[in-house]
Amino acid sequence: MDLASPSALQRSPDSPHYNWLLCWLLLPLINNLSAFSFPSLSSPLVPIPFSELLPINKAARGGHQSPSPPTERPRIIPPPAAKTLAAADPMATASSQASLLLQKQLRDLAKHPVDGFSAGLVDDSNVFEWQVTIIGPPETLYDGGYFNAIMSFPQNYPNSPPTVRFTSEMWHPNVYPDGRVCISILHPPGDDPNGYELASERWTPVHTVESIVLSIISMLSSPNDESPANIEAAKDWREKQDEFKKKVRRAVRKSQEML
């Protein structure tokens, strides 16, 4: 019999050659017995059709269950790019710029002192608050005095002006009773709502600590009683010169005593 002939195998299904060939074909399946559950030896064996050998052999390699689809790796979404300081907080940017500008002015005044006043920080950790000592201008009623003042800068300096307040006693038409200085360059920029000042006379960002203090020294030399901050002082200046001089001399003596 020709074992390679399919017709011969079909005509003799019970021949030993047929059984031998069947075992040879089932050998790959037998090598993967650990992946299958078989019936007990006492149970009758059921022949496996040839058409199912290949699928079973593939299943044996991967187990009874069909392989699960590959799990998609989670996409790592990078954090959003850090916002610039200007986009995150415009006020913080303005504050940083003001701080740098004030530090530069402080260094400049330390290298090149200006006659008539001295300036420094009240607290080294706060560049927005300055201690200023103004020497009374010569040949004026305030001559010989040493008048201390606090200059407080806003976070958006130089777009807005600082405030200046004398902590020493001061008697002057342009100084409020609480010590606040009232001069045009310390008023907010723009038109005067009361119509007393021109916009060009008010604050502009070109002003520095030096220009502000020099303007205050000029104020001490030439009081303006047309729009006074201290009405009583303005009246004394206009109508009671002796009384005005007396009060100013007292302020000068007190400032000297505080040295």
Residues acting as catalytic residues: 182
What 3-state DSSP class applies to 161? Answer: coil
Give the tokens for residue 227.
């729009």
Backbone angles phi, psi at 232, to 5 degrees: -65, -40
Number of H helices, E strands in the chain: 8, 4
- Distances from the Cα of 177 to the Cαs of 94, 103, 131, in angstroms? 32, 31, 19
For residue 126, the surrounding DSSP H or E stretch is strand 126-135
How far is Cα 132 from Cα 167, in angstroms, rounded to an integer? 10
Cα–Cα nearest to 116, from 132, 136, 140 = 136
Which residue is listed with tokens 């607290």? 123
For residues 58 and 62, give the distance between their C-alpha atoms in angstroms, rounded to a whole number.
7
Cα distances (angstroms) measured from residue 89 to each of 95, 96, 153, 158, 160: 10, 11, 19, 18, 18
Tell me which residue of 193, 172, 194 sits closest to 181, measured CA to CA.
Answer: 172
Closest CA to 200 of 187, 209, 215: 187
d(CA 40, CA 157): 94
